[in-house]
Amino acid sequence: MASISHPDKSRLLRSSFLFKELDDQEIDTLASAVSFVSLNGREELFHQGSQGSRLYVVARGRLKVLTTSSEGNEIVFNILGPGEVVGELAILNEVPRSATVRAIEVSELLSLHQRDLLTFLQAHPTAGLKLARVLAQRVSQLSELLSDMQFLKLPYRLAKKLTALAHSYGSPQEDGLRIKLRLSQEEWGDLVGATRESINKQFRTWTKEGLIHVDRGCVVLDRPEEIERLGSYEGV
């Protein structure tokens, strides 16, 4: 991987939620401390339980954040794309990684060491407040996922996940609202705590009903408003 220029590092940092409100001088200071990491598809960035000393900002590609249940099953609670931050919890609390992060496709990330981040945050408290918001979002997402898996049946939680990813990665096209993520049925199952067979059955049912179809590895919502309505169900 060829080295990335300082202006490109600054641009990528500015595109992230965590650092987008910093001024040019702050961004340039931070850019001087970051390095570049490249991953192949299915390659791990880090593993649950390992010690962490770096925070990452996704520059290109898609990664999944997953944890392993006591039964040994993988539960995916987030998909990360460009501009999103990962790895911040372990380096701030000095605890082992709470989840595994694995590339879905070829991905590139900016890497920032703990010592450089803490030095920067001491001088820029506004960034610290934004980092706290990211942490709160992570906790909220995990809590919501666990609640959904406990109280919602598969069609409702799968529709909820499809709607959420459509908001992040949806692209309106002639054949419907295409979710521009190529995930296997096993990976869709990981996202909602279900087996590949259950996902296959639900996708076939919705395809027959004209709600979705799968095209070149991407799920297309033919009637996104119906999927969103299913996803808004909160259980009884």
Sequence spans of domains, the chain: 6-150, 152-231
**CB of 52 closer than 8 Å to CB of 96:** yes
Q: What is the CATH number of domain 6-150?
A: 2.60.120.10
What contacts 47, CB < 8 A, 6 or more positions away?
Answer: 97, 100
Q: How far apart are CA 54 and CA 37, in angstroms?
A: 11
Q: What is the pLDDT of residues 116-167, one digit of tens each?
A: 988 998 888 888 888 788 778 777 777 776 777 667 899 999 999 999 999 9
Q: Architecture of 152-231 per CATH?
A: Orthogonal Bundle (1.10)
1 pLDDT above the threshold of 70:
no
Distances (CA, A) of 206 to 43, 65, 107: 32, 27, 32
Distances (CA, A) of 213 to 77, 123, 190, 207: 24, 50, 20, 5
| Mean pLDDT score across all residues of the chain | 87
Q: How far apart are CA 193 and CA 210, in angstroms?
A: 24
The vertex-13 CA angle with 9 and 18, nearest 5°, equals 165
The type of residue at 7 is P
pTM for this model (two decimals): 0.75
What token pair was written down for 104? 């879905």
Q: What is the pLDDT of residues 75-127, one digit of tens each?
A: 787 888 888 888 887 777 777 888 899 999 999 999 999 999 889 988 888 88
Residues above pLDDT 70, as percent of the chain? 94
